[in-house]
Structure 1
Amino acid sequence: MIVSTNPQKYRNGDTHYPFRPHSDFWYLTGFKEPETVAVFSKKHYTIFLQEKNPAREIWDGERLGIAKALQTLDANQAYPINELKAQLPLLIKEATTLYYDFKACALDNDIIECLDGAKTQSLGEHLHEMRLIKEDNEIVLMQKAADISIQAHQLAMQQAKIGLAGLFEYEVVSIFDAEFRKNNAEHAYTPIVAGGKNGCILHYIKNDQVLNEGDLLLIDVGCEVEGYAADITRTFPVDGKFSQAQRQIYQIVLEAQLAAIACIKPGEVVIKPHQIASKLSNKA
């Protein structure tokens, strides 16, 4: 089983985009440094990672390094990432089944070269089924992400009672920025804060238009805590008051949502809430 996480991406000059490890890699290793490959078999866990580099660490922060990797990551073997092409073929030469999912980056190009045409099966098909079952510590992190996100949404709604008309969408985004950072959380995805007709754009991320009295404001924002994300969408009036038509549509959606939530129980099929919400919405 081979799983990798991407190298860092340059934003411009010598500045990088903030790095986030690939979710599958993070789940299996708990390791958050870039440009890393993990290889698992029934007998061994091998990690390829960046070596210590005092000159770079002055700029980018401390690296774990090869010497500490075995104990910290509970690996059996650790190699510098620049030895991947030499060591990976030896690690997989006796494998009867290889699980691996390609990602478009230079590191995965090296992995493909090492595979030398060997057939692979999708790791994600199996791993994502595992990830559906959450352990207690995962549930704690998911709940924390949800709680922080809820608090931020409530702060935005409270501001609407005072009045958001005349403000810009990005000023509402700043409410979420502050609440997330205050709780050591990050945005789980690019925030969508869409006033008026912008709410009809499914992935509207410009967030730079003025909010007008009488319009609805759609907010699709959630935070991430240690790799676990919340995802919340709410819509409410910019000036805190629904028009008759807005209230009617809102009530239809709310009733469909509550009915969908009410059907959720152990053993129910996953698509059932969607079917109930769709049926009620279409009927209305």
Structure 2
Amino acid sequence: MCRRPWQNRQRSRALNIQPDEYIRRRRQLMRMAGDDAVLLIAAAPERVRNADANWPYRQDSDLHYLSGFPEPDCVLALLPGRKHGEAVLFCRERDPEHERWHGESIGTERAVEVYGMDDAFPIDDIDDILPGMIEGRGRVYCHFGSEPEFDARLLGWMRRLRQLRGGGVVPKEFVALGHLLHDLRLYKSKAELKLMRASAAIAAEAHMAAMRVATAGRYEYEVEAELLRTIRSRSAVAAFPPIVAGGVNACVMHYQANRAVLREGDLLLIDAGAELDCYASDISRTFPVSGRYSREQRALYELVLEAQLAAIDEVRPGRPFDAAHQMAVRVIAEGLCALGLLQGVADDVIADGSYKRFYPAKTGHWLGLDVHDVGDYRVDGEPRLLEPGMVVTVEPGIYIPPGDTTVPERWRGIGIRIEDDVAVTRDGSDVLTAAVPKRAEEIEGVLAGRG
């Protein structure tokens, strides 16, 4: 049987997050906002790449979190206490001529039947319908300032309310929706964690495939191509443009060119992740192109790995978010002093910040629907305490600039990062990306079997 495009999307969704979970999320958010509020979330607009070509479409993370609805040109309105239904979606109506060129749309009927909306209307009618729904509400929760086009439309609805005969009751406050919604997104459900494990497994497979093709004489973009091929072959997309940084390029934190040739004796740093049904993974590994680490490379690699393992031990309920970073800094500072790359003792180089010459980054970030996911890192001025359901990355590194003449030449131009995705559990943590080897001898064993 031939499936239609929207049916294929539903088949994929059926394996992941169910409509009932989206309904629970919407209801929880509305309870937090109160009956006097209206919550408005617009779809991500389609983005032009150049001329008449668009970038591949990716839904706004907040709209996806609340609905799973995959199409552009729609607005979700949540209206707590509305008698005729609280969750209302304005979306594209079915149009045979549009579908002839762009494929089948979901339409208003299936928005209700499949996505669990209480009501749905054509997006072309939103200017006539939504202002009346907003009237009488005291607050509008939205992402004001994110999309100028939607902001202008929202202000137009407010003007229309004021122009109603007798004067409409216009909301008195615009409130940042992220204050409520992003805290919800920080805690991952079982279904979300299942998706993130699947995303991590795809990314792990891609990293392993990249290791097998990353030999001297090849170009960074050839390794990138293998990463992307593997990710796409598993029905996922890249969570972000992969970093494939050979040799001194690994010292550039956000290297993107991926154009250089891989050379014997160099390290290759790969930072890449998959996105499955909008949920991201994020993995970094650093390995020798030749198959074996040099003495200096191995010394620094073992130091970064020691720091990462110690930092992962800090990812558990009740520990501050920044405890992993503080631990990684301590281990790296002690190691760099022991190797003679920093002068003095660890306490001093931490206090004066001189360790940042070789470790200028933080050790991790939230992970979820976005690679750098939403959620406050501090609450009331203090580092947030980790709780079950949160997912973080742990990614210490050492980067010695090639032009740093304060260190012996044999150390210069070495860049190393090791990154894993770690879910906080009731009893500790779970490394979602453990399938990719990271101990030096394990990596050398993988590379020894490359052909």
Q: Which residue of the partner structure matches residue 170 of structure 1?
A: 221
Q: Secondary structure at the match of 2:141?
A: coil
Q: Secondary structure at the match of 1:276?
A: helix
Q: Which residue of the partner structure matches residue 72 of structure 1?
A: 114
CA displacement 1:163-206 (0-9 Å, x = unmatched):
x1110101001111111111101001111111112112222212
Counterpart check, 1:222 vs 2:273? yes
TM-score, L = length of structure 1: 0.93
Of 106, 111, 121, the match for 2:149: 106
Aligned-residue Cα RMSD (Å) equals 1.7
CA displacement 1:190-244 (0-9 Å, x = unmatched):
1111111211222221211111111111111000010110011111112122111
Does the Cα contact within 8 Å between 1:38 and 1:48 map onto a contact in 2?
yes
- Following superposition, the deviation at residue 118 of structure 1 comes to 4.7
The range that moved more, 113-122 or 183-192, is 113-122
More helix, by proportion:
1
Note the residue ranges of structure 1 that are not aligned, 5 or more in a row.
none
Does the Cα contact within 8 Å between 1:35 and 1:107 map onto a contact in 2?
no
Does the Cα contact within 8 Å between 2:241 and 2:256 map onto a contact in 1?
yes
The range that moved more, 193-202 or 151-160, is 151-160
- Following superposition, the deviation at residue 95 of structure 1 comes to 1.6
State the alpha-carbon separation in 1 of the partners of residues 255 and 227 from structure 2.
16
- Following superposition, the deviation at residue 140 of structure 1 comes to 0.8
Aligned ranges for residues 181-260 of structure 1 at < 5 Å? 181-260=232-311
Q: Which residue of the partner structure matches residue 89 of structure 1?
A: 131
Letter of the 1:212 counterpart = R
State the alpha-carbon separation in 1 of the partners of residues 71 and 54 from structure 2.
14
Does the Cα contact within 8 Å between 2:271 and 2:285 map onto a contact in 1?
yes
Does the Cα contact within 8 Å between 1:99 and 1:121 map onto a contact in 2?
yes
State the alpha-carbon separation in 1 of the partners of residues 277 and 130 from structure 2.
29
Counterpart check, 1:42 vs 2:80? yes
State the alpha-carbon separation in 2 of the partners of residues 18 and 68 from structure 1.
23
State the alpha-carbon separation in 1 of the partners of residues 209 and 172 from structure 2.
54
TM-score, L = length of structure 2: 0.60
State the alpha-carbon separation in 1 of the partners of residues 100 and 172 from structure 2.
41
Distance 1:27 1:20, change over 3 A: same
Q: Which residue of the partner structure matches residue 54 of structure 1?
A: 96
State the alpha-carbon separation in 1 of the partners of residues 155 and 227 from structure 2.
41
Letter of the 1:196 counterpart = G
Q: Secondary structure at the match of 2:318?
A: coil
Does the Cα contact within 8 Å between 1:222 and 1:231 map onto a contact in 2?
yes
Note the residue ranges of structure 2 that are not aligned, 5 or more in a row.
1-38, 160-170, 336-451
CA displacement 1:89-133 (0-9 Å, x = unmatched):
211122222211132252343124324585311111211111121
Letter of the 1:264 counterpart = V
State the alpha-carbon separation in 2 of the partners of residues 235 and 111 from structure 1.
48
Does the Cα contact within 8 Å between 1:145 and 1:223 map onto a contact in 2?
yes
Of 155, 158, 162, the match for 2:212: 158
- Following superposition, the deviation at residue 258 of structure 1 comes to 0.4
Does the Cα contact within 8 Å between 1:100 and 1:123 map onto a contact in 2?
yes
Identity in percent: 39
Counterpart check, 1:279 vs 2:330? yes
Counterpart check, 1:128 vs 2:179? no
The range that moved more, 190-199 or 93-102, is 93-102
- Following superposition, the deviation at residue 13 of structure 1 comes to 4.4
Q: Which residue of the partner structure matches residue 29 of structure 1?
A: 67
State the alpha-carbon separation in 2 of the partners of residues 53 and 140 from structure 1.
36
State the alpha-carbon separation in 1 of the partners of residues 251 and 132 from structure 2.
53
Highest Rg: 1 or 2?
Answer: 2
Does the Cα contact within 8 Å between 1:6 and 1:107 map onto a contact in 2?
no
Which aligned runs of 4 or more in structure 1 are off by greater than 6 angstroms?
none
Q: Secondary structure at the match of 1:121?
A: strand
Q: Tell me the matched-pair count.
A: 281
Does the Cα contact within 8 Å between 2:138 and 2:172 map onto a contact in 1?
no
The range that moved more, 266-275 or 167-176, is 266-275
The range that moved more, 108-117 or 232-241, is 108-117
State the alpha-carbon separation in 1 of the partners of residues 324 and 315 from structure 2.
7
Q: Secondary structure at the match of 1:79?
A: strand
